[in-house]
Structure 1
């Protein structure tokens, strides 16, 4: 049985300025998107269509806005709507914490739709570019959760070699579910998507693979993650994260089916 190291959530202090590890992990995620995006430009059809490094930088700017705005509003609407309905000004208090991946995903979808429209490019082609570059950033975010000792897992058998006590969660050993999610939704999904996207694919296929892959991995990881205290388990003993993941899986399968049914939609060589 292990003990959580109890990291100081503040990575760096410069006078009155405190830089938190979680904020740094967001910056790492955005930097990874930029770095991977530069390499994604070498894949087809983007190399043939003349996509430029400036396009990656523009998408990153729009994506950051989508992640922050969508992630915050998603947390408010999906997880604590009544709390913020009574105190709506707290929606802006992002320093208190509270971000939702599913809300951030919706924010990115809207942001990329706006960018694609401005650039007069197919929205799904843009999303196919973005999808393989995202999981590495998700892994960084989950590592940030682990450093903070938050979003811990459910109670585990003490004989589990990596069972861990999180001081804020009490004396019982728990699954380090943040690391499970970093490995599943982050590293594993990244490797699978990157390899899948390197070959010519029908427009929409890479986006569909991301939706299905993330939805499945998140659904599985939620069995080891402690449900939100104010929500608990919902219908069918599933968590909010699992209920929000199921529409992603359905949407991904539907998009994949659509991509294959379009007779004019050939792999983008």
Structure 2
């Protein structure tokens, strides 16, 4: 059995202000996306220039925070949200949902594109390879907080989490860090090294993230207020990830058919 490191969730204090590692992880994600965007915008096929990067990151960050919080309340705590809508502002109690954040980013980027008169699909393709940086950092923040732990296990990699009861559990946060953070980043960064058809990168993001999240949910303890949603085994995370996988595959199929059609026309 592995030993949970017992890291203090508070990184440091400035008088009465406590700075948490989880908040720092968000800053790491946004800073990493900004730095990589400055690298990617130098590509000849980049849809934006370096002067637009900071504005794009601002819009994306706003979408992540607002969409992530609202998505959590709607997808995971709807009854509480309906009875007391003001709890959405109690961010110190935690509660962010990736799928809500994804919707928020898409809407925010749409506003960015309207302002800068660029194609929304081009920008989504541009930022997709940077998203795993924030995802990976966020999962490390979950691990430090000792939250979103895994299911009970007797495997050698089990850990006893401070708030997870006396039994060892999978460190599912680290599994998600590896899959949604490291592996997803490598895949998308490799695919984006050269010009691709519009929506190709975004579709791959949908497929691979959805697949990795679906797998990780088998090791992660279902949310206590939700339990299993379907078939006594499907969690809310898997339910929300399934449309992502299907949508991504349909887009890739469409792009493949368009490519074959174009190739056939050129041959003729």
Please report how far the alpha carbon of residue 265 of structure 1 lies from its aligned counterpart in structure 2 after TM superposition.
8.3
Output one character per residue of 1:78-133: Cα deviation in whole Å (capped at 9) or x when no partner: 00100111111111111111000000000000011111122111111110000001
Paired position in structure 2 for 1:184: 179
Q: How does 1:73-222 map to 2 (within 5 A)?
A: 73-157=70-154, 160-222=155-217
Secondary structure of the equivalent of 1:156?
coil
Secondary structure of the equivalent of 2:163?
helix
For 2:50 and 2:6, the matched residues in 1 are separated by: 40
- 1:244 aligned to 2:240? yes
Please report how far the alpha carbon of residue 44 of structure 1 lies from its aligned counterpart in structure 2 after TM superposition.
4.5
After TM superposition, the score normalised by the length of structure 2 is: 0.94
Output one character per residue of 1:129-173: Cα deviation in whole Å (capped at 9) or x when no partner: 00001101100000000000000000111xx33211112111111
For 2:262 and 2:252, the matched residues in 1 are separated by: 12
Note the residue ranges of structure 2 that are not aligned, 5 or more in a row: 264-268
Please report how far the alpha carbon of residue 71 of structure 1 lies from its aligned counterpart in structure 2 after TM superposition.
0.2
Q: Would you say how many aligned residue pairs link Structure 1 and Structure 2?
A: 261
Please report how far the alpha carbon of residue 200 of structure 1 lies from its aligned counterpart in structure 2 after TM superposition.
1.8
Please report how far the alpha carbon of residue 259 of structure 1 lies from its aligned counterpart in structure 2 after TM superposition.
2.8
**230, 233, 238: which one pairs with 2:228?**
233
Paired position in structure 2 for 1:31: 31
For 1:265 and 1:102, the matched residues in 2 are separated by: 34
For 2:262 and 2:80, the matched residues in 1 are separated by: 46
Output one character per residue of 1:6-43: Cα deviation in whole Å (capped at 9) or x when no partner: 22111110111110110000000000001111111233
For 2:44 and 2:206, the matched residues in 1 are separated by: 21
Contact 2:227 2:235 in 1 (8 A): yes
For 1:65 and 1:233, the matched residues in 2 are separated by: 31
Output one character per residue of 1:32-59: Cα deviation in whole Å (capped at 9) or x when no partner: 001111111233411xx6x321221111
- 1:65 aligned to 2:62? yes
For 2:110 and 2:26, the matched residues in 1 are separated by: 22
Contact 2:42 2:49 in 1 (8 A): no
- 1:253 aligned to 2:243? no
Contact 1:259 1:265 in 2 (8 A): no
Task: Quickly say closer, same or farther: Cα 1:171–1:265, change in 2 above 3 A.
Answer: farther
Secondary structure of the equivalent of 1:174?
coil
Report which structure shows greater RCO (CA 8 Å, sep ≥6).
1
Note the residue ranges of structure 1 that are not aligned, 5 or more in a row: none
